[in-house]
Structure formats: C-alpha cells, structure tokens
Amino acid sequence: MTAKRIFKNLTLLVILAIMVWALWPEREKEATAPQTGTEPGSQAESVREVKYEIRMVPGPYMPGTVPMNIGDPLEALQRVADEFERLYPDTKIEFVNVPSLREWLVTQLSSGKAPDILSVNVEDAWQDVHKGWYVPLDEFLEKPNPFVEDGDPGSEQWWDIFKYQAITRGKAAPDGKMYCIVLDMVETGIFYNKDIFRKLSLEVPTDWEEFVDLMKQLGEADYVPILLSLTRMYDWGLDLIFDQLYYSLLPGIDLKKDPIREEYMQGYLDWDELSFLFGKGFFTRDDMRFREIWRILKEWRDYANKNLQSEVLTKLFVTQKAAMYWDGSWMVQKFSKSPDIDFEWGVFYPPPIPSSYSEFADGHDMCVIGGAAAQYEITSSAIRDTGDIATSERLRRCVAFLQFLTKPRNAELVVNEVSYFLPNVKGTSPVEALLPFDEMLKRRYTTTKWVYTFDNRFLDVLRRMLMLYLDGSITIDEHLEWMEKNVASATSTVARRKELQLTDFEKRWKELEPYRKDMKGLPDGAR
C-alpha cells in the first residue's frame, strides 16, 4: 500500500517536472533582448556610483519590445542611453513601461511618484501645468544643445534643431511655456488598396465630392469602402471638418494674437477663445456650421465598417475586404513589413470640401491634424534632489539626456528603427515608406483640437454621444443638445480652473465686427 502511494506520488512529481521543463523559456529567446553594459568601456558600470537614477517612459521606443510583432526587438534607445551613461557615469537611465491610462498618471503625478520623463500628448499636460506637475523647458530650449557641433542647427538655441518648427513650437501651452520635447512626427492618411482601385478603374479623389462618389462605387462593388474607428472620428475627423468649415471665419473670430505661437499656429483657437465664442452662440444648436460638422461626419460614417469599435479593422484591410483605411503613419510598419500583404497599397490625404458640397466650405486644403508624436515631458519628480528648478542637478541630467537624444545621429537611429514616425531633427531623413507623410506635414496647422482643448469629461461625453449619433441611435438634434451642454460645462470648468478673464476679449470682438459683417451662417449673437 505504501509502495503504491510512493509510486503514485513519484509519478505525479515526474509529470509536474516534465510540464515545468516543457514550459521553461528558451535560452535563445532570452539572448535576443538588448544587452546593456556589455560593450567595452562599460565594464566599470557595476562598480560606478550612480547618483542620478532617471526613470523615463520612452513611449513607442521601449527597448526590448517588438512593434506590431514584426521584426526584432528594439534596441536603439538602449544604445543611446548606454552611450549617455558613459558620458555621465553618475547617471543611470532606466526605461519603464507604464499604463497609458490618464487615471494612472494623475495618481502618480499627484503623489510625486511619476517617472522623471514622461511620454504623453502635451495637451494632457496642459490640463495640469498650473499644479506644478511639469517643468517648463523654455530656458533650456533657448540655450545651445551642448551635444551639437558648432555651426550646426541647435548650436545656438536647442529650439533650432527641430525640423518641423511650426508643429513643434505649436506644442507650447496656452500659458506660452513649452513643456515637451518633440522627438518625431506622425500624420494620418487614407491607406488604399491600389489593386482594387485599378480593378474598378478608380482614381484618388481630389475633393470631398469625388471622395464620397468613390466610397459609393466601392460599396456597390461589395467592398467596405473605408475603415473608420470611433477614435479617428472624434479626434481627427472632427478637427478636419471643423477646420474646413470655420477657417474662413478666423479673420472675424480669432481674438488672440499670441506673440510667441502665432507665427506657427496661424490663428489657432485656444480654450479661452472657444469659451468666449461659445458665449456668442458658436458651437450651439443655433450655429449652422456646428450642425454641418456632424452631418458630414455622419454621411462619411455611413460608408464605413459596421462596428466603429471593432478590434479587427486591420484584418479587413489586409484581407482585401475593405478598400481604404484611415489611420496613422504607424501602419506603414505593418503594411511595409508584413508578409500578409500581397497587394500594392498607397496613401493619400483626405481631400478638401468644396462649396458645392457644403455651403460653409471653401475648398481650401485639409489641415494637418497629426503632428508631434513622441512628446517627452519632464515631471516635478525630476527636481526632487533640491525641489528647485534653478538648482536641481537631477533636472539638468534629464534635460541633458533629451538633448543627447535629439542629436541628429541619435534621433535618426532611434526613430527610424521602426517605420512609425518621422524624425523631427534637422539633418535626419525618415524611412522611405514614410516620405508621403513628410509632404502631408507641410500643410497648415489645424484651427483647433477639440479633444485636447477641454477636460476629459468633455471628451467622455463627446465620444459616447458621437458614437450613438453616428450609429443612428440618436438624432442630430439630440446630439447637438448633448454637445451644447457639454461645451457649456467644459467652458465653465476651464474658465474656473484657469481663472480665465473672458471679458478682456470683448474689445477685440468689437474691433473684428466689420470682418463678421458679411459672413454667412453665423449664430444670432455673433454679428
């Protein structure tokens, strides 16, 4: 009986051991991870005294990750960090992955435990700059980048090193200060299946009417004409169509000429301007342009995939069930490297809306809505050595690393390791497949960015209601009612948080009255 029991237990033990052995990770896989501190010169690392341990969220360049599961694990940023650590032996750069949730970020920032360098859209940071969670970088940007050779861009002012100046400087916060370093650029585009276009004798559209006609023909040929997601609609679509319908009004409604940003932003409407304009009847049910935006988005949506929240859009494009796909330049990584793609593809930008399609449009080119991709902010965690921006050596190490990262050779190495984005540093070139996006980025900057202008509550209501409206669950009037309340709530919140003095705009509003005189379709209170 005892022997039987021993035999039974031994058998179980053997089975368990075999299972553990079978599931144990292979040695070769471990070896593919980027190695640190193994190169000549770094032997001293194990014994060096690390005084500044800097935690950085590298965003899309996280060493060891495999973008879209295509190619080898990334290692360029780790190599740059290793080189930096050799220059500053008392500094250690640690890359960390964090949840992309704003909820996580807010709790970390408020408790002073956030990583020293973050990668978030700077508009998110704008919401909280008055709380002292982020370090303004202007004083560093106005000084030379010490890693640049004399005479090269950036040797006088770090600012000059950036290739896409308008977009980069446009990332300054409405308080005029710059809280981020823009390493690279991204842009959106409509990817299309050239084989399907050829088969149906279709051409790339030159205006919105042709675009709608094109989608109609594709639908009739039993293709999903275009793949859209809800995110693309409320983030990119809204800004594009808004710019198409409101840009011509700017001479009469652009109330603020920002001395620093105006040269680059060209009439961009900030939250204070939008709040004031809302008080004059814009962005309400009485604003015909506002109504027109949603109508156009709805019509567009009707040519798209059934489920705007679908997780399988890429699959539909790859399997040639859909002819067009509106997405970002990061998809180039997939389309240019994936073995699943066995058709020719191209990319074009959404075409302008002519006046024949909408009485409020004038056919000007669609604006840029992409722009800055990886935006690195330095948080208040960086100054915890002295608690003072002026004296913190730790902060200077963080800045130095970002300066080192924006050195042309390093930026090109890191950014071009994946076919996602275009390096935003002079003296660098993007990978060839991304060149069409380089042309798109030369367009004028957007008139406003709705998603990033107000608080997250505004965004929450926007995306939820827009989805119901686009799917036909609520009418345009119901949607407008929600949006009017939403803008009202958002403008009052931003006015309270930022202590906005909107009455200052009254004088300028009166000065612009002659410009508005002949403008059609203005709300009643806006003359």
Partner 1 sequence: MGRAKLFGAGRYISCYLLLLPTYVLVSVFSFVPFIWAFSKSFYRYEVGGESEFIGFANYLEYFSDPTFGPSFYHMGFLTAFAVVVGIVVPLIVAKLIFSLRSEKLKHIYRLLFLAPIVVPRVAVLMIWRFMIYDDGGMINEFLRVLRLGEMATGWLFNPTTALWAVAFIGFPFASGIHILIFYAGLCNIPESVHEAALLDGATGARKFLTVDVPLVLSQIKLLVILTIISWVQGFEWILIVTQGFPGYKTMVPGLWMYYNAFSFQRMGYACSIGVILFLVILVLTVLNLRYFKSAESVQGVG
Question: Which residues here bind partner 1, judged by CB under 8 A?
Answer: 102-103, 106-107, 109-110, 128, 131, 133, 306-312, 315, 455-457, 460, 464-465, 467-468, 471, 473-474, 482, 485, 497
Closer residue to partner 1 in complex, CB, 106/502:
106
**Which one, 315 or 527, has the nearer CB to partner 1?**
315
| Cβ-proximal residues to 415 (8 Å cutoff; 6+ apart), any chain | 61, 183, 184, 421, 422, 423, 428, 430
Read off the tokens for 424.
């935003």
CB of 134 to partner 1, least distance (A): 11
* Shortest distance in whole angstroms from residue 191 CB to partner 1: 20
* 389 vs 474, beta carbon nearer partner 1: 474
Q: Which run of H or of E encompasses 422?
A: strand 422-423
Give least dist CB 492 to partner 1, A: 12
In this complex, which beta carbon is closest to partner 1, that of residue 49 or of residue 311? 311
Contact between 219 and 350 under an 8 Å Cβ cutoff? The reply is: no
Per DSSP, which regions of 140-223 are E strands? 181-182, 184-186, 188-193
CA atoms within 13 A on the CB side of 384: 18
Between 3 and 101, name the residue whose CB sits nearer to partner 1.
101
Helices (H), 39-75: none
Q: Rounded to whole angstroms, what are the CA distances from 36 to 40, 98, 436?
A: 11, 21, 36
Residue 326: enclosing H or E segment and its boundaries? Answer: strand 322-328
The residue assigned the tokens 């073995």 is: 339
Of 392, 300, 404, 281, nearest to 308 by C-alpha is: 300
| Residue 98 vs 474, nearer CB to partner 1 | 474
Least Cβ distance, residue 175 to partner 1 (angstroms) = 16
Nearest approach, Cβ of 498 to partner 1 (angstroms)?
Answer: 12
Give the nearest distance from C-beta 513 to partner 1 in angstroms: 36
Owner of token pair 């300066």: 403
Q: In 3D, which of 99, 129, 454, 455 has the Cα closest to residue 108?
A: 99
Q: Which is nearer to partner 1, 108 or 403 (CB)?
A: 108
DSSP notation for 310-324: -S-HHHHHHTTSEEE
Q: Which is nearer to partner 1, 122 or 405 (CB)?
A: 122
The least CB distance from residue 527 to partner 1, in Å, is 32
CA 441 to chain centre: 14
Closer of 103 and 203 to partner 1 (Cβ): 103
Q: Report the nearest approach of partner 1 to the CB of residue 122 (Å).
A: 17
**The tokens 């190599």 sit on which residue?**
79
Tokens read off for 385: 């050595």
Least distance (Å) between residue 469 CB and partner 1:
9
And the tokens for 484?
């009017």
Long-range CB pairs of 28-32, under 8 A, 24+ apart, other chains included: 32/72, 32/73
Contact assessment for residue 521 and residue 246, using Cβ atoms and an 8 Å cutoff: no
- β-strand pairing of 345-348 with 224-227: unpaired
- Least spacing, CB of residue 460 vs partner 1, in Å: 7
- In the bound state with partner 1, the residue whose beta carbon lies nearer, of 315 and 409, is 315
What are 117's strand-pairing partners? 56, 378
- Give the integer Cα–Cα distance in Å for 162 and 168: 7
Cβ distance to partner 1 smaller for residue 121 or 456: 456
Minimum Å distance from CB 202 to partner 1? 26
Sign of the CA dihedral running 394, 399, 400, 405: positive
